[in-house]
Amino acid sequence: MILVSRFLFKAFASIMIAGITTAGALASELPDEDLHYSIMYKWGLINKEAGRATLSLRNYPGRYKAMLAARTVPWADKVYRVRDTLKSEMASPSCLPSMYVKLTHEGSANNVDRLCYSRNGNEVTVYSHRERSKNNGPVTVSDTVLHGTLPGLDMLSVFYYMRRLDFQSMKPGETVVLDLFSGRKVERLTISYNGRRTIKLNSGTRHTYEVTFSFTQNGKTSDAPMYTWISTDSARIPLKMEGQLPFGKVQAFYTGSSQQ
């Protein structure tokens, strides 16, 4: 279940302004919305829901506020209980973050990561404050300064930044590269556009853009690649996300939304 939890956040990281080739961005504002997902674990004959997540976005003058609330379902709670929340404040309409908070309650661990961004052109400096505690014991605090040279995002803002890419004008094989900040490290995220695909979901057949996400750190692969299928309509909603685990794979399926 630890691996499922890790995938949960990588999935929404995969769900972006300089790159190897530069892709255009859509100019429209994102709406107030709540997007709901089911997280499925599949291994052989096992195909079971492991968690659920809701992504919420609200508009304010010149900025967005976003939140991801994720939790394991009752059967998975007995193996490894997860109650996690991500929060991000982003500039509008660029979706570049100024603040990011990750609150994790996983098993006996209760952790907090707070990131504050400072930007100077393509140079990004992130001030990271981390708190760690187990079994309601003493809290360990650490502070770190991280640096990047590409437009920097985090595990939540990347979801909204990606939705603004103009996939319709991109050619299969085009890539976008950015720095992805967590509380203690910087990863290089490469987004590869694979072209249009038709996929089958419980809601029916959907037309999508397929993209692959590759994670590296210091030139070495830091995570298995992930795949995302994004609706071709104006909403640009990630409909399906998939990643491999050492045993089986985890998939995230879009189950519905509500606009506020």
Domain ranges of the chain: 2-259
> DSSP letters along 112-175, please?
EEEEEEEEETTEEEEEEEEEEEETT-PPEEEEEEEEESS-EE-TTHHHHHHHTB-GGG--TT-E
Tokens, residue 136: 């309601």
Q: CA distances (Å), 114 to each of 47, 66, 88, in order?
A: 35, 15, 10
Measured between alpha carbons, how far is 195 from 213 in angstroms, rounded to an integer?
A: 14
Q: From first to last of the 260 residues of the chain, give the pLDDT tens digit.
A: 444 444 554 554 444 322 223 344 454 678 899 999 999 988 888 899 999 999 999 999 999 999 999 999 999 898 889 899 999 999 998 899 999 999 999 889 999 999 999 999 889 999 999 999 999 899 999 999 999 987 899 989 988 888 878 888 999 999 988 899 988 899 888 889 999 999 999 889 999 999 998 888 777 776 778 899 999 988 888 899 998 888 888 899 999 987 65
Instruction: Please tell me the pTM assigned to this model.
Output: 0.85
